[in-house]
Amino acid sequence: MKIAFATGNKNKVLELKKILEKTNIQIIQKNIEIEEPRSESLQEIAITKANYAVNKLKMSVIVEDSGLFIDSLNNFPGTYSHWVYDKIGYIGIINLINKIKTRKATFKAVIVYLEPNKKPQIFTGEKQGTIALESKGVDGFGYDPIFIPKNETKTWAENPNSKNQSSHRQMAIKKFTNWATTNL
Ligand code: IMP
């Protein structure tokens, strides 16, 4: 079956396609402009965007919303991660927490699957870790060069295998896949 993935982020599409390649679910990227509502809740944002995308595309859609939540910054940049990244990048984040000892952070992802005239299905994933003292690695995207997953020593940009196995997005995708293989 075909599902539209409403996103402009090719990296997210690749991550989703990789895990769904052994199923009968076919993901089609739809790079439609969706205005991001302002909210502290990833779930609320993803549901709003999914409703918009279904109305526009008239087919089943997946929307994913994610962000980096830093403990010592009261969960900033959180739902503003995309915007903050565009403004100050990961170097800006390193500078912001320069002298702060607690470097704990959590990546969160919410996937919403929505069929026309149905209720949204919601799948979440989280990955705990710390913000590195300096950026390292070249793989991945976004804040990957400064995120070190819990119990590891390398950033996701240095160790993409770790990201592929246990990222926030992978966790949410796996929950969606499990649900989809029995319900779709
Ligand atoms: P959005 O979900 O497209 O609104 O953007 C979330 C933002 O969070 C992205 O633009 C990235 O900057 C950041 N982000 C989300 N997931 C990841 C990830 O897996 N690695 C690095 N940065 C991420």
CATH number for the domain whose boundaries are 2-183: 3.90.950.10
Distance between CA atoms of 130 and 104, rounded to whole angstroms? 4
3-state helix, strand, coil in the chain (%, to 5): 40, 25, 35
Do 157 and 171 contact (CB within 8 A), yes or no?
no
Q: What is the mean pLDDT of residues 105-118?
A: 97
What share of the chain has pLDDT > 90, as a percent? 83
Does residue 108 have its Cβ closer than 6 Å to ligand 1?
no
Does residue 127 have its Cβ closer than 6 Å to ligand 1?
no
pLDDT of 11 higher than 90: no
Does residue 85 have its Cβ closer than 6 Å to ligand 1?
yes
More confident residue, 181 or 71: 71
**Ligand 1 mean position, distance from CA 64 (Å):** 10
**Ligand 1 mean position, distance from CA 11 (Å):** 10
Domain ranges of the chain: 2-183
Whole-model pTM over 0.85: yes
pLDDT of residue 18: 83
Q: What is the pLDDT of residues 12-32, one digit of tens each?
A: 898 888 888 888 889 999 999
pLDDT of 35 higher than 90: no
